[in-house]
Amino acid sequence: MTKEEIQALYKAHILPENKHPYHFEAKEGTSVSFDAYNPMCGDKFHLYLNVVNDVFDTVHFDGIGCAISKASTSMLLKKIEGMSKIDAKAICEKFINNLTNDHQVDEFNDELNTLIALKHFDGRIDCIKLAWEALLNYLLVKDLEG
Partner 1 sequence: MLKNIKTYFPIFEKYPDLAYLDSAATTQRPKSVNEAINQFNSFENANIHRGVYDLSNSATKKFEQAREKVARYIGSSNPKTIAFTSGTTHSINIIAYSFLKSTLNKGDNIVITLLDHHANFIPWQMIAQEKGAELRVVPINKKGDLDITSLGKMLDEKTKILSLNHISNSLGTVNDIHEIIDLGHKKNIPVMIDAAQSVAYYDLDILTFNYDFLAFSGHKMFAPFGTGVLYVAEKWIKSITPYNYGGGIIKNVSAEETTFSDYPFNIEAGTPNISGVMGLSSAIDFINTFDKAEMRQHISDVTHYCIEQLSTINDVKIIGTPEKRSGIVSFVVKDIHPHDVASFLNQDNIAVRAGMHCTQPLLMYLETPATVRVSFSIYNDRQEVDRLKASLVALIKFWT
Answer for the pair 70, 45: CB distance below 8 angstroms, yes or no: yes
Stretch that binds partner 1, among 29-37, 39-47, 53-61, 89-97 (CB under 8 A): 39-47
Radius of gyration of the chain (CA): 15
Q: Name which of 100, 109, 45, 44 is nearest 79 in CA terms.
A: 109
Figure out which of the listed residues 122, 144, 145, 146 binds partner 1, where binding follows CB under 8 A.
Answer: 122
- Closest contact distance (angstroms) between CB of 142 and partner 1 is 29
**Number of chain residues interacting with partner 1 (CB under 8 A):** 21
Residues 139, 83: Cα–Cα separation, whole Å:
13
Subset of 62-121 contacting partner 1 (CB under 8 A):
64-68, 70, 121
Q: Which is nearer to partner 1, 68 or 77 (CB)?
A: 68
Closer Cβ to partner 1, 13 or 70, answer by number: 70
Q: Which residues of 94-105 are buried (b: 16+ CB within 10 A; e: fewer)?
A: ebbebbeeeeee
Site for partner 1, rule CB under 8 A: 3, 6-7, 10, 15, 40-44, 64-68, 70, 121-124, 127
